[in-house]
Amino acid sequence: MENGFKQFSLKGKVSLVTGGARGIGLGIARALAGAGADVMIASRTEAQLKAAAASIYEACGRNVGTFCTDVSDLSGHAAMVEATLQRFGRIDVLVNNAGSNIRKPFLEVDEADYDTIMQIQLKSVFFLSQRVAKILKAAGGGKLINVSSLTSQIGVPNISIYGAAKGGVFSLTKSLALELAPYHINVNAVAPGYVRTAMTEAAFSDPKRLEWMLSRIPLGRFGQPEDIANAVLYLASPAADYLTGEVIVIDGGWLSA
Ligand X SMILES: NC(=O)c1ccc[n+]([C@@H]2O[C@H](COP(=O)([O-])OP(=O)(O)OC[C@H]3O[C@@H](n4cnc5c(N)ncnc54)[C@H](OP(=O)(O)O)[C@@H]3O)[C@@H](O)[C@H]2O)c1
Q: Which stretch binds ligand X (CB under 6 A): 85-93, 131-139, 197-205, 211-219?
A: 197-205
Whole-number minimum distance, CB 8 to ligand X, in Å?
22
163 binds ligand X (CB under 6 A): no
240 binds ligand X (CB under 6 A): no
Q: Which residues contact 187 (CB under 8 A, 6 or more apart)?
A: 129, 143, 144, 145, 146, 173, 176, 177, 180, 244, 245
67 binds ligand X (CB under 6 A): no
97 binds ligand X (CB under 6 A): yes
Quick one: which of 8, 194, 234, 254 contacts ligand X (CB under 6 A)?
194
Active site residue ranges? 162
Length of the chain measured in residues: 257
Quick one: which of 22, 30, 62, 77 contacts ligand X (CB under 6 A)?
22
Quick one: which of 32, 37, 71, 176 contacts ligand X (CB under 6 A)?
71
> In this structure, what DSSP letter does residue 25 have?
H
150-154 contacts, C-beta under 8 A, 24 or more apart: 150/191, 150/192, 150/193, 150/194, 150/249, 150/251, 150/254, 150/255, 152/191, 152/247, 153/191, 153/249, 153/255, 154/254, 154/255
Q: Which of residues 116-145 bind ligand X (CB under 6 A)?
A: 120
Whole-number minimum distance, CB 48 to ligand X, in Å?
5
Residues 6 and 156: their CA atoms lie apart, in Å, by 40
Q: Given the rule CB under 6 A, which residues bind ligand X?
A: 18-19, 21-25, 43-45, 48, 70-72, 97-100, 120, 147, 149, 192, 194-195, 197-200
